[in-house]
Amino acid sequence: MAYLSAETANFASLSGAFLLAFPALFSIVNPIGAALIFAEVTDGRSGAERAMLARRVAVYGLLILLVSLFIGSTLLAFFGITIGALRIAGGLVVAVRAWSLLQAPEENEANKERQAHQEGRTAAADVSSTAFFPLTMPFTVGPGSISVAIALGAERPEAGGMLARLEFSLGTCLAAVAVCLMVWVAYASAPRFVLMLGRSGARIVTRLVALILLCIGVQIVVSGVQEILVGTIARASAEISAVRHPVGPPSPSPR
């Protein structure tokens, strides 16, 4: 029975990490909405070229997310950036992007199409040269996605030992893999996806995802503010305690 309860707890920890990371990454990457723009950008390409681009974008995006998940916190420490500051900045980026999608998704899509067309057409003649830039970065995995991935990596638990950290890392990795697989499938099926949903359906889906994205961005900001406030209050309490109860040399014992 003890073994079963331990296995259940491990599964709960793994699934909890997955359920934490997958909605956040899926909402910010938005494979469904991006696939519709991908279809426009790659208009005129052959089916084989589109399939190759979809596969490479998914692989490059996965590599960016994994690097952000595992060494993003180390880079922040090197530059002296706190996790709280990152959460506030990343949450604001996510919330602002979500708000723009809610207000004018058509204008946002048009801007992304124009940017991708201009940058993609000025690249080398080889179609593979556009797979990383701009189709992967920043078209699919941009600053918002990287900020969310770094913030998720910072949530790695310190308590529970190596097993808890391994389960959390595995859960977040599986979430990143699942999101990038959806990017691959959505991009490869973009022409059929456009015919199935159409522009009106795509705008409805984009607005629904944007609402979830806005909530996630606000929650990330709240978490960052809470962390900064808790740290500030803890330091202030320690300083007040040190002033009220100074540590000095022990008084001589009476003879």
**For position 250, what pLDDT does the model report?**
58
Instruction: DSSP for the chain, please give it.
Output: -HHHHHHHHHHHHHHHHHHHHHHHHHHHH-HHHHHHHHHHHTTT--HHHHHHHHHHHHHHHHHHHHHHHHHHHHHHHHHT--HHHHHHHHHHHHHHHHHHHHH-HHHHHHHHHHHHHHHHHTS-SSGGGGTTTTTTTTTTS-HHHHHHHHHHHHT--STTHHHHHHHHHHHHHHHHHHHHHHHHHHHHTHHHHHHHHHHHHHHHHHHHHHHHHHHHHHHHHHHHHHHHHHHHHHHHHHHHHHHHS---PPPPPP-
pLDDT tens-place string over residues 173-197: 999 999 999 999 999 998 887 778 7
**For position 12, what pLDDT does the model report?**
53
**For position 84, what pLDDT does the model report?**
80
- pTM beyond 0.85: the answer is no
Confidence of residue 69 (pLDDT cuts 50, 70, 90): very high
